[in-house]
Amino acid sequence: MTMYEEKMMRVCQNIRASLEKKLDKEEREKQSILYLIARNYLKKEEFRFEDLIRLTGKNEIELYSLLYEAGISRVPNRLWLTLSTVRWNRIFIRDVADFFNYPLYKEKRVNYWRMVNFLHRAKSRADFKNVLVGLVELGKVRAFSQALLNEIKATAEIATSGHCKYIFQQFVSIYEEEFPEIKISNRTEDSDDSTQEKGEETADIEEGPEIDLKELLEQNTSLKNRLDEALANADYLDLQMDNLQSRFKEYSNKVESEAKLNLFKNLNSIENSCLLNAFYQAKRVLDQLRASGWTPDPPTLESSLFFYDLFADFLKKEDVTTKFSTGDILEITLGNINDFEYNGSEMTPETIVKARVKTPAWYLKDKVISKAKIVEIMDQK
């Protein structure tokens, strides 16, 4: 699996995990049915209305609502996608598949701006989900591994159209980063389409001298499309907000972690008399005295010595640990010398030196606070 596929895989996994928490069982079931409807129609596997009722377990009223959302009309005994939906979905699937197949055909000019137009000017709320379903089920994207396609499918089955739009946006961002040359594309090809679409949109809102039934129906369709687009954008913005919150939390944790690391580094710096090392030595002696049966005299001294126990508990809660103990004898080579603050004779590739640990290494989780200080044992017989 390529690096860009791994990034896409993580995008889908994160979105699916988020949706499984946020969407209730009824909404996930609804999106699965919409996926099924889109798959069968895009693959031209039509079925009767009664078959769809039996397959989904939905009653007629519930099913009509789902079909309407998917852009499907019913005629006697049969179901049909509206012609405009079929036309635009096929165009979008072709353009999007060409874009994502770029890694296989780099010599072929990819029209990046058609992909951008799809993200910003899809004709209805259903387009984003239908196109994502088409990419998975029709085998149009040969640049994606089967593992990635399976992950996209699992996500699309519970995602709304707005969520699918967010997936497309993230995928495009990954491609822009991985293949920056794709932006160098001729926009002339799109000018005619843009002009035509603009003309169509203008025609939709022009008012004639008389308002007839046909015009009212067209206005109603236009308002529905705008409402659907607003709902899709709401889902899309919801995921954007989740992403921003996740990034802020990640950044906040990173800043907090770096601040803690700097704090402990300062505590163990020469300027602060290596307080961690001093604490380690004092606590070690205190533990040895207690183990030998020693008790403080006067007894009131015990409350003062309790500070060492409290500070040791604090370091443990903060995941501050030590490695090596004072007095340990280690074998040092040129390969591991950089892990220590070494004081001794010059090393060569063949040299193996015995050294004694003077102070331990300190770690905050897996990050180094300070290295262990070691001194070469001069008499190594």
CA 135/CA 171 separation, integer angstroms? 13
What is the helix (H) or strand (E) element at residue 355, kind and residue range?
A: strand 353-359
Look at the block and give the residue holding tokens 């009212």: 216
Confidence of residue 183 (pLDDT cuts 50, 70, 90): confident
pLDDT at 191: 43
- Is the pLDDT reported for residue 321 higher than 90? yes
Annotated domain spans of the chain = 3-247, 275-376
- Record the pTM: 0.52
CA 147/CA 225 separation, integer angstroms? 34
CB 132 within 8 A of CB 164: yes
Residue among 334, 305, 323, 315 nearest 362 (CA): 323
Confidence of residue 107 (pLDDT cuts 50, 70, 90): low
Degrees, nearest 5: CA angle 96-102-104: 130
Phi, psi (deg, nearest 5) at residue 80: -140, 140
The CA-based diameter of the chain, rounded to the nearest angstrom, is: 109
Residue among 116, 138, 132 nearest 164 (CA): 132
Look at the block and give the residue holding tokens 């443990």: 316
298 upstream amide cis, omega within 30 of 0: yes
**Burial, 247: exposed, middle or buried (Cβ in 10 Å; 0-12, 13-18, 19+)?**
exposed
Joined tokens for residue 353: 């030196």
What tens digit of pLDDT does each residue of 330-339 get? 999 998 999 9
CA 28/CA 160 separation, integer angstroms? 9
- Is the pLDDT reported for residue 144 higher than 70? yes
CB 357 within 8 A of CB 326: yes
